[in-house]
């Protein structure tokens, strides 16, 4: 089976000016948006606020949560629903840069504590004050200690069963759930639990705070790592393809891969975190792979078609490799689509970024990497050729 019955003959390089203009428009729009508009949202990894994920026993709405937070003056927090059923939410407190560096992480934590307290139920707090324990937040050992009072011989086992059930479902919504499989608690244990514990309104799934010092470090190190790896690629490509223009073209392509992806990303309300940086690097990886495959074809054809102008050789290389480009990026797109659809909330931002990146990577290889080599040869090497 073949996508193209015959080798296609699309004059890609004819569109080089149009492609350059399009790139320029997207990057400019993105840069304006980043610098003057919405800007890039830095995530908690880079020292901005606290991220809390909570799971509620009963479904609630974003507006209800916002109301609870507004009551304690934290209405400007970013609240996102994650998962289904309206029971899981992600809350980002916005930092207030009024305190000194020293105090900032402490103040992040205080903010986070306030968020959690605001979300907690009044009744729950009263019960806690009475010395009852929250079955939706209790840890295994404490629960096992509790069970020692009533059935010391299998206290650990009972606690284990309940905690495992809770781990699977996030929270225990009703006592009836514990009577059924797989927990299967006998009536007397349930009665005992109902006397000693209560089912809290919510539980905290995760909580992340990065202090400004570490945030700055992480930002610096991520940037450093990326710059060095770009330099490494530049040197290797220049060496293998015997010309600095190929290395320069590859780096140019990659730079604009990152810029375009960031630009598009900046128009969504998603945040930049370390996994997103990894995603960005993956895009760069695919794009460089694409570019090298084309350059490799050019290198090969140059050996046999010495008389042919470079532009024609490039066009032929792009056409010869077109079916491969489509198949490879198609399968990669498929892989990432699966991650995007089924990967869950944690991986979702990452997959979204990659979806943009794979499409963009193909475009940049075809329309940008070759023209750059061409321009370089035409304008920067002119003198050499005249000799």
Partner 1 sequence: MKKNLKWKLALIIAVTGLCLFLIYPPKEKIKLGLDLKGGTHLVLQVLTDDAINVETDQMLARFEEVFKKNNISFTEATKEKPGRFFFRGIPSDQESKARDLIDQYTRDWDYSFSGDRLIFTLKPQAALYLRDQAVTQTLETIRNRIDQFGVAEPIIQRQGSDRIVVELPGVEDPERVKNLIKVTAVLEFKLVKAGPAPDEETLLREFGGQVPEDAEVVKADPRRGVQGYYLVSKVAAVTGKDLRSVRRGVDEWNNPAVHFTLTPDGAKRFEQVTGQNIGKQLAIILDGRVQSAPVIQARISDAGIIQGRFTPEEADDLVVILKAGALPAGIKYLEERTVGPTLGSDSIRQGLIAGLIAIFAVMAFMIFYYKLSGINAIVALILNEIIIFGAMAYFRATLTLPGIAGIILGIGMAVDANVLIFERIKEELVLGKNVASAIATGFSRAFSAIFDSNLTTIISAVFLFQFGTGPIKGYAVTLICSLVANLFTAVFVSRFIFEAFVPSNAKRLSI
Residues numbered 308-367 forming contacts with partner 1, rule: CB under 8 A? 320-321, 323-324, 327-328, 330-332, 334-336, 338-339, 341-344, 346-347, 350, 354
DSSP label of 320: H
Contacts for 314 with CB less than 8 Å, ≥ 6 apart: 12, 13, 294, 298, 370, 373, 374
**Residue 56 binds partner 1, judged by CB under 8 A:** no
**Residue 24 binds partner 1, judged by CB under 8 A:** no
Least CB distance from residue 16 to partner 1, whole Å? 23
> Is the CB of residue 77 less than 8 Å from the CB of residue 94?
yes
Contact region for partner 1 (CB under 8 A) — 12-20, 184-192, 213-221, 369-377?
Answer: 213-221
Among 211, 302, 355, 376, binds partner 1 (CB under 8 A): 211
Q: Which is nearer to partner 1, 66 or 219 (CB)?
A: 219
> Interface residues for partner 1 in 29-48 (CB under 8 A)?
45
**What is the 3-state secondary structure of 333-367?**
HHHHHHHHHHCCHHHHHHHHHHHHHHHHHHHHHHH
**What's the longest Cα–Cα distance across the chain?**
98
Contact region for partner 1 (CB under 8 A) — 29-37, 122-130, 162-170, 255-263?
Answer: 162-170
- Binding residue count for partner 1, defined by CB under 8 A: 85
**What is the 3-state secondary structure of 219-240?**
HHHHHHHHHHHHHHHHHHHHHH
Residue 38 CB neighbour total at 10 angstroms: 11
Residue 179 phi/psi, 5° resolution?
Answer: -80, -25
Q: Which is nearer to partner 1, 338 or 380 (CB)?
A: 338
Structural tokens at position 91? 């809350």
Q: Which is nearer to partner 1, 29 or 275 (CB)?
A: 275
Least CB distance from residue 123 to partner 1, whole Å? 22
Q: Which is nearer to partner 1, 302 or 328 (CB)?
A: 328
> Interface residues for partner 1 in 220-279 (CB under 8 A)?
221-222, 224-226, 228-233, 236-237, 240, 274-275, 277-279
Q: Which is nearer to partner 1, 148 or 381 (CB)?
A: 148
Structural tokens at position 255? 């730079």
Q: Where are the beta strands (DSSP E) in 114-192?
A: 133-134
Among 23, 77, 197, 203, binds partner 1 (CB under 8 A): 203
> Interface residues for partner 1 in 1-20 (CB under 8 A)?
1-2
Least CB distance from residue 25 to partner 1, whole Å? 29
Contact region for partner 1 (CB under 8 A) — 69-77, 172-180, 286-294, 370-378?
Answer: 286-294
**Residue 145 binds partner 1, judged by CB under 8 A:** yes
Contact region for partner 1 (CB under 8 A) — 66-74, 176-184, 280-288, 301-309?
Answer: 280-288
Contacts for 293 with CB less than 8 Å, ≥ 6 apart: 321, 324, 325
Helices (H), 36-135: 62-70, 101-119, 122-129
> Interface residues for partner 1 in 80-139 (CB under 8 A)?
83, 105, 109, 139
Among 26, 205, 238, 310, binds partner 1 (CB under 8 A): 205
Which of 164, 168, 199, 302 lies closest to 246, judged by CA?
Answer: 302
**Residue 140 binds partner 1, judged by CB under 8 A:** yes
DSSP label of 72: T
- Sheet with 78-82: strands ordered across: 50-56, 88-92, 78-82
* Helix, strand or coil, per DSSP, at residue 146: helix
Please calculate the CA angle 333-335-338 and round it to the nearest 5 degrees: 105
**Residue 302 binds partner 1, judged by CB under 8 A:** no
């Amino acid at each position: 089976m073949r996508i193209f019955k015959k080798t296609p003959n699309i004059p890609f390089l004819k569109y080089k000016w149009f492609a350059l203009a399009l790139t320029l428009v997207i990057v400019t729009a993105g840069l304006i948006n980043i610098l003057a508009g919405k800007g890039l949202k830095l995530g908690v990894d880079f020292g901005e606020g606290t991220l809390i994920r909570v799971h509620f026993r009963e479904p609630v709405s974003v507006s209800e949560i916002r109301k609870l937070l507004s009551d304690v003056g934290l209405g400007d927090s970013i609240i996102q629903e994650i998962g289904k059923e309206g029971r899981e939410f992600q809350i980002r407190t916005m930092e207030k840069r009024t305190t000194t560096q020293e105090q900032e992480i402490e103040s992040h934590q205080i903010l986070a504590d306030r968020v959690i307290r605001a979300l907690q139920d009044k009744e729950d707090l009263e019960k806690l004050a009475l010395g009852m324990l929250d079955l939706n937040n209790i840890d295994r050992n404490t629960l096992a200690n509790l069970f020692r009072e009533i059935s010391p011989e299998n206290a650990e086992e009972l606690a284990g069963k309940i905690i495992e059930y809770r781990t699977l479902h996030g929270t225990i919504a009703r006592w009836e759930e514990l009577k059924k499989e797989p927990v299967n608690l006998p009536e007397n244990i349930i009665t005992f639990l109902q006397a000693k514990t209560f089912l809290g309104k919510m539980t905290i799934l995760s909580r992340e705070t990065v202090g400004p010092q570490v945030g700055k470090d992480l930002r610096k190190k991520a940037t450093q790592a990326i710059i060095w790896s770009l330099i490494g690629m530049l040197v290797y490509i220049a060496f293998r393809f015997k010309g600095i223009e190929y290395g320069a073209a590859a780096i140019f392509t990659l730079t604009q891969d990152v810029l375009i992806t960031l630009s598009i990303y900046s128009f969504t309300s998603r945040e930049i975190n370390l996994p997103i940086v990894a995603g960005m690097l993956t895009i760069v990886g695919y794009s460089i792979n694409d570019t090298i495959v084309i350059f490799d074809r050019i290198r090969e054809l140059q050996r046999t078609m010495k008389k042919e102008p470079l532009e024609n050789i490039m066009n032929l290389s792009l056409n010869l490799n077109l079916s491969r480009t489509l198949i490879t990026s198609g399968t990669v797109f498929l892989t990432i689509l699966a991650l995007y659809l089924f990967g869950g909330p944690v991986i979702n931002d990452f997959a979204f970024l990659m979806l943009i990146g794979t499409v963009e990577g193909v475009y940049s290889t075809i329309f940008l990497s070759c023209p750059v080599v061409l321009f370089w040869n035409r304008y920067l090497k002119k003198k050499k050729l005249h000799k």
